[in-house]
Amino acid sequence: MQIYLARNNQQAGPYTLEQLNQMLASQQVLLTDLAWHQGMTEWKALGELTQGKLVYQPKGYIAPTPFPEQSPAQNSSSNKIHVESKAAQNNELASISTRILAKIIDLLLWLPAAAIPSFFLKPEQVSQLSEIQQKMQSTETSTQAVQLQQQLFTLIPAEAWQAMFIYIIIMLGIQAFMLAKSGQSIGKKLTKIKIVDAESGEKVSLMRAFTLRSFIFIILNLLFMPFITIIDHVVAMSEKRQTLHDKLAKTKVVKQ
């Protein structure tokens, strides 16, 4: 019997009945997952097929005769090893140090955006910019700081702002494409880790991987740097190693 499973519009299989029951017993498969095999007219929840039990015993099913050179116990053990090794491969969590390294690489890729204005400034404008920055460091009132910031912004040509905007859009597009394709940002690709669903271990949608996990936290980090970054990674010290943005998107980061 060849059994197919589905969760979150992701299909897997086929599995034998023995493999299915092993995965049910170890809770790698949930009773809410959908299942289909030959003889069924439609997909049904596993819980409906098993009547709420963690074992599926279809009526009239006769287990196949094992190969002569392998006993049933050995065959069951082999299947169990195969299923568990596959699950272990998919669920091996990435280390905190590797995740931090991937984050640093991703952050470094945004630095060129800050350097772009220097290519559009004339020598006298560069001097004025340095003077404004020095005044901002020594200013004592918020009103003066706001005025200096306005002077700094007006000093940067419109072409520089346009170039910065184009660079940011291109970077966001590249990150979104990579996350949709493999669940990896550039930093995660280089460090060989990826984002998966916290429960199933399957690839997640672009909405969860990019919009919830990345884009929202990019904005929060810009507004509340470095507090959000610190809190985010302190939370990741838990057993599941989920950061705040992991919990928000219901994801985890595993080794590739």
Q: Which of 225, 206, 227 is nearest to 215 (CA)?
A: 206
pLDDT score at 63 = 55
Q: Which of 110-119, 138-147, 165-174 has the highest mean pLDDT?
A: 165-174
The pLDDT-based confidence of 193 (bands split at 50, 70, 90) is very high
Q: Which of 4-8, 123-127, 142-146, 186-190 has the highest mean pLDDT?
A: 186-190
Residue 190 has pLDDT above 90, yes or no: yes
User: Rounded to an integer, what distance in angstroms lies between the CA atom of residue 16 and that of residue 229?
Assistant: 45
Give the pLDDT of residue 87.
45
Per-residue pLDDT band at 200 (split at 50, 70, 90):
confident
Q: Are residues 85 and 30 in contact, defined by beta-carbon separation less than 8 angstroms?
A: no
What single-letter DSSP state applies at residue 9?
T
Cis peptide before 157 (omega within 30 of 0): no
Task: State mean pLDDT over 48-75.
Answer: 64
Q: Is the pLDDT of residue 51 over 60?
A: yes
Least confident of 206-210, 221-225, 227-231: 221-225
- What pLDDT, on the 0 to 100 scale, is given for residue 61? 62
pLDDT-derived band of residue 17, with 50, 70 and 90 as boundaries? Answer: confident
What percentage of the chain carries pLDDT values higher than 90? Answer: 10
Cα torsion angle, 48, 11, 194, 209, sign: negative
pLDDT score of 71 more than 50: no
Q: For residue 102, what is the DSSP state? A: H
8 Å CB contact between 160 and 167:
no
Q: Which of 139-143, 163-167, 226-230 has the lowest mean pLDDT?
A: 226-230
Average pLDDT, the chain: 79
